[in-house]
Structure 1
């Protein structure tokens, strides 16, 4: 009876994770969304009886504290999170270059794309809610790879790239920092590919179902030796 905790679960890739995982009644799903006042029609349509919709605004440490308390309430004393998927993310002002960065836009992306996943892992650990062999997936992007990003022409999404590179470094730190607490934990970051979602925008060619199905295959096959790696949804290791 594995427990999956997913942020950004009400649309796009997060919603597809819920849809696929909800196919099995054995899966307990903690579906984190930015606010419970959102339109939940799509999420409720794919949710299973063992799916719990909880508020988690990744840009707010206060909201994350409340989310962790709700996770503890739902799981009780006999369950812990086996798979933590930090999917929530934003790409703000994609037209900005390194020469035109808006400070507020960059800070907002770092708050959600980096600080949010950092505090979610930290607070779930502090509350004793992560299983001893937890798998943590931080959803990144090929734009967060220094090598891959350097090859992209024309340049785009400077702030988003910077924040995802920060998330990649966070992953490396988490992969080592969790070891003294949870020796069997594995933390990775993963590029889902260019997926047909609202964030993916025009030009995206990859169906969410294919991307997510492939990522779940990688996630479920992780071994301790994979700790701290950067994966493509296909299972290929991505250069930093």
Structure 2
């Protein structure tokens, strides 16, 4: 009976993660949204009876700390088997490398990089992660420098930079988490260009296919997968 945490679960990729994980009612899901006022109607429609909803704004250290305290209080004695750091933002896709506004880049880094870093850290320090936890950091094809080089014109500069930093974080975590939890595996994932609000016009991939592929990949990771970057098909993504 594994336990999953899915951040940013109220819409988009997070919503589909909950829908598919909830199909097996033996799974426990801790689904988060940014605030207590977030509309949870859609995710509650697909959730199981073993899905629990908590608040976690991954752009706020205080919120992450409160979330971890709540998990420890409500799930005492349980361990997290899958941590899916899905919450993320792409607020200024129009900015280029020549028009980055510092505060916008700061916000992307705070939510897309510091958020997953501290969520993982605080859960680990609270002894809430299982010895064989699978940690999934939701990156993007735009987080790959090799992929970005193949795109002309370049896209979403601040988002791309933050997701590349998240890939670097995943590499660092893959070593450091393993020092504490010998069976842990950390991976970065590229969901593909998915038809969600963030994906925008032109997206080609249905959420069901993307999430189904990622779950198959995550459930099948092996020792040699630690610290690698995969796409939803299970293929390794070049850095």
Tell me the CA shift for residue 104 of structure 1.
Answer: 1.1
Aligned to 2:161: 162
Aligned to 2:74: 74
Q: Matches of 2:92 and 2:188 in 1, distance apart?
A: 23
Deviations 1:178-211 (A, max 9, x none): 1111010000000000000000000001000010
Superposed, 1:69-218 pairs within 5 Å as: 69-77=69-77, 79-218=78-217
In the comparison of the two structures, how many residue pairs are matched? 239
Question: Which ranges of structure 2 fall in alignment gaps of 5 or more residues?
Answer: none
Tell me the CA shift for residue 74 of structure 1.
Answer: 2.2
Deviating 4+ runs (over 4 angstroms): none
TM-score using structure 2 length: 0.99
**Secondary structure, counterpart of 1:201 in structure 2:** coil
**Secondary structure, counterpart of 1:178 in structure 2:** helix
Task: Report the RMSD for the aligned CA atoms in angstroms.
Answer: 0.6
Aligned to 1:12: 12
Tell me the CA shift for residue 81 of structure 1.
Answer: 0.2
**Secondary structure, counterpart of 2:178 in structure 1:** coil
TM-score using structure 1 length: 0.98
Q: Matches of 1:182 and 1:106 in 2, distance apart?
A: 32
Q: Matches of 2:134 and 2:118 in 1, distance apart?
A: 16
Q: Matches of 1:181 and 1:198 in 2, distance apart?
A: 37
**Secondary structure, counterpart of 1:133 in structure 2:** strand
Q: Matches of 2:161 and 2:98 in 1, distance apart?
A: 13
Question: Which ranges of structure 1 fall in alignment gaps of 5 or more residues?
Answer: none
Q: Matches of 2:59 and 2:164 in 1, distance apart?
A: 18
Aligned to 1:30: 30
